[in-house]
Each structure stands twice: as structure tokens, then as C-alpha cells.
Amino acid sequence: MTDVGFSATRRLILQGAGAVALVGLGNLPFGLTPALAANDKYPEAAFKAKSEADAIKALYGKTAEPSDKVKMDAPEIAENGAVVPISVTTTLADVTSISFLVSENPVALVASYKIPAGTLPNVANRIKMARTSNVIVVVEAGGKLYSANKEVKVTVGGCGG
Amino acid sequence: MASSIRVRATASGETTEVQALIQHPMDSGFIKDAKGEIIPAHFIQQLTFEYDGKNVFTADWGGGVSKDPYVKFAFKGGKKGDELKVSWVDNKGATDTTTAKIQ
């Protein structure tokens, strides 16, 4: 395992060696996050939310309105639910964040991207889908939230099914 | 020693397009192994990209991202020959980092 040096180790120690020891238990659905710095916060609460509404609320503190300016590219049918390519682009201005959620996944929030000024509001990634589900993309632009969604059919589920 | 991170960054006009592919199990913690025991959650939580000392993209990931995760994005700026630094940290506290030259 690689280690980038002092700062990672220092954070581990400062945030509690006890917390790190618990990660090895293996019966927690999500490991604890002792190693992350506080400034570029990892949205842990959002990744624990079960429903997409709760995840969006935890991430952004507001609700999204559907917008045809958010363009999702997702397959009609995903043959392999373990690897479903989804991308999004938008013509909205001042985009600061783009997130991907899957309603029927055990945890709705899959990924959230921070878009600094100067970075284009386009992201492509590959996600897991447990079963046929609505895939939702949320874009934060100019302080408001916009969304698009598409149903993606899954023939072989992405959770080992 | 090989990094887990493979990056291709290509400057084209005013924009640099970045594709990253990372070797990582991205276990969600929801799947059982052949013995019926849960495979513990083990996934990258945060992936960052830095150009010219500034963050140009951050990915906050959960266990729902596919194994050996891939991401593509683009930012304004970036010149051929400049460096892009990519780092990740996972839920076990492991990290990796690499620097790629923009082509």
C-alpha cells in the first residue's frame, strides 16, 4: 500500500487510531473516514442516506427542479449492472457541482463532483446499478439545483445478482 | 513501482481533457463472498486533480461507483508539457498519487 507521506499519517493519528482500528471489523456497510481532511469535506452523511431525496438534501440543503438544460447520456438497457456508463453535460452557467444518484440502489448517492470555476460542466463516469432504476443527475448552478432523470433497465444486477 | 492511477490529459485549444482510470476494488460493502460473508466496504472516497497548484476537479465517491473507476472531465487552461497531479484516498485511509504530463 502506498502512503504519500507525513500529512496522511498525521491525519490518521489525529483523527483517532481507534477509529481506524474499527475499519477492519468488516461488518459495517461503510468504513469510517479517518483519513480525510476537513477542508475539502467528503459528504459522508449524503453517502449514508437511503433515498435520493435525503441524499440531495444532505448534499445541497435544497431541492432540485427538473431542467431540460441538463443532458444525460445513459443506456436504455445496461447489460452489466456493475458497469453502467453515465455522462452528463449542461448549458447552465456557473456550475459548481454535479451528482449522480440511483433510486433503487441500497445507497442512492453514487458520486458527487465539485466543479471549480474554469472546469467544464461535463462529467463521464461508470456506476453500479442494483436493478432497473431511475438514474438522476443533479447540477448545482448559480446556487440553484437542477435535475434530469432517465430510467435505465438492468438485465444483470450490479450487486452480484 | 506502478501507480494505481492511469491518466491521460490532452490539451486542445483552450481546454484540457482528462481521463483517469484507477485500479481499485470499489467494494460497496453490500456484496457477500462465496462463503456468504459480507465483503467489507473498500472504496475510494475522494479523488482530486490539481493543476498549477489549484484544484480543478474533485470526485466524492461511494461504493456505487464501478470497480476500477473511470472518470472523464475537462478544464479550461492547461498547456502541453505542464503537469497534472492526481491523488486519491479511500475509506481505509490508503492513498495514492501520481503526476501526469499534459499532452
- The pLDDT tens digits for A108-157 are 999 999 999 999 999 999 999 999 999 999 999 999 999 999 999 998 87
Long-range contacts of A93-96 (CB under 8 A, 24+ apart): A93/A141, A93/A142, A94/A141, A94/A142, A94/A143, A95/A121, A95/A139, A95/A140, A95/A141, A96/A140, A96/A141
Per-residue cell: B49: 486533480
Q: Is the Cβ pair B66, A82 closer than 8 Å? A: yes
87-146 in chain A: CB under 8 A from chain B: 87, 102, 105-107, 109-116, 118-120, 122-128
Same domain for A55 and A22, yes or no, is no
Same domain for A136 and A59, yes or no, is yes
Smallest Cβ–Cβ distance between A23 and the set B38, B87, B91 belongs to: B91
- The strands making up B70-76's β-sheet, listed across from edge to edge, are A70-73, A84-90, A122-127, B70-76, B15-22, B5-12
Can you tell me which residue has the cell 456493475? A82
Per-residue cell: B3: 501507480
* Domains in chain A, number: 2
A141 inside domain: yes
- Whole-model pTM: value is 0.84
- Domain that includes residue A26, residue range: 1-42
Same domain for A69 and A104, yes or no, is yes
Chain A residues whose beta carbon lies within 8 Å of the beta carbon of residue B41: 28-31
Decide if the complex's ipTM is over 0.90: yes
- The pLDDT tens digits for A58-113 are 999 999 999 999 999 999 999 899 999 999 999 999 999 999 999 999 999 999 99
A81 inside domain: yes
Residue range B82-99: average pLDDT? Answer: 98
Same domain for A55 and A35, yes or no, is no
Same domain for A54 and A120, yes or no, is yes
Cα→Cα distances B43→A30, A72, B91, Å: 9, 25, 6
Q: Is the Cβ pair A126, B46 closer than 8 Å? A: no
* Domains in chain B, number: 1
A134 inside domain: yes
Same domain for A38 and A75, yes or no, is no
Same domain for A67 and A106, yes or no, is yes
A4 inside domain: yes
Distance from C-alpha of B39 to C-alpha of A89, rounded to nearest angstrom: 34
Q: Is the Cβ pair A34, B1 closer than 8 Å? A: no
A161 inside domain: no
Same domain for A69 and A138, yes or no, is yes
CATH of the domain at A92: 2.60.40.2470
CATH of the domain at B33: 2.60.40.10
Q: Is the dihedral of CA B63, B66, B70, B76 positive or negative?
A: negative
Same domain for A70 and A144, yes or no, is yes
- Domain that includes residue B53, residue range: 5-101
